């Protein structure tokens, strides 16, 4: 027996608006079911559930969604689209206009940080960044 796991995001009446917003940003995405309380949707093949649960709970950066990007163009795209109307932070983190936290990171970061000689320089470079700049990391 396989038990599918997926996140449930608690919204204060904005689950459908959030699902529409995310589906407009991520390719191969769609709303799969909806009713006044719950909307389920897929982003790049990953299932999510949005719940109109009311104001009791809010999002924090303690939980975030990581988007690994191959190119600077991808980083720029997700940074702009997800951050619009939200809040940008340090080291590739942002909160979107619904309060959900995202990390927009270059996929090469894992490789750069695995090199013990290079890792301190790379970390020093990205600690000064808000949005990641791949070339600056590569040059560190």
Between CA 87 and CA 101 the distance in angstroms is 9
Between CA 68 and CA 116 the distance in angstroms is 22
Q: Same domain for 66 and 135?
A: yes
Domain extent, residue 3, equals 1-57
Q: C-alpha dihedral over 97, 12, 52, 8, to 10 degrees? A: 60
CATH code: domain of residue 70? 3.10.180.10
Note the pTM of the prediction, 2 decimals: 0.94
Q: If 0-12 CB within 10 Å is exposed, 13-18 middle and 19+ buried, where does residue 11 land?
A: buried
Q: Same domain for 71 and 105?
A: yes
Q: Same domain for 30 and 83?
A: no
Residues 6+ apart with CB under 8 A from 78: 25, 67, 69, 102, 104
**Helical (H) or strand (E) element with 112:** helix 109-114
Between CA 92 and CA 79 the distance in angstroms is 8
Indicate the number of domains in the chain.
Answer: 2
Q: Same domain for 47 and 70?
A: no
Residues 6+ apart with CB under 8 A from 114: none
List per-residue pLDDT tens for the chain, 140 residues long.
688 999 999 999 999 999 999 999 999 999 999 999 999 999 999 999 999 999 999 999 999 999 999 999 999 999 999 999 999 999 999 999 999 999 999 999 999 999 999 999 999 999 999 999 999 999 99
CA distances (Å), origin 71, targets 12, 102, 109: 34, 17, 12
């Amino acid at each position: 027996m396989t038990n599918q796991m997926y996140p449930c995001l608690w919204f204060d009446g904005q689950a459908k608006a959030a699902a529409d917003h995310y589906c407009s940003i991520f390719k191969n995405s769609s709303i799969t079911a909806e009713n006044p309380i719950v909307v389920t949707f897929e982003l790049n093949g990953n299932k999510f559930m949005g719940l109109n649960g009311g104001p009791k709970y809010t999002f924090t950066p303690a939980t975030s969604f990581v988007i690994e990007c191959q190119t600077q163009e991808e980083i720029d795209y997700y940074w702009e689209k997800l951050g619009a109307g939200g809040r940008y932070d340090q080291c590739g983190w942002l909160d979107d206009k619904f309060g959900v936290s995202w990390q927009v990171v270059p996929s090469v970061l894992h490789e750069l940080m695995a090199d013990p000689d290079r890792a301190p320089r790379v970390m020093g470079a990205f600690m000064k960044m808000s949005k990641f700049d791949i070339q600056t990391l590569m040059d560190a």
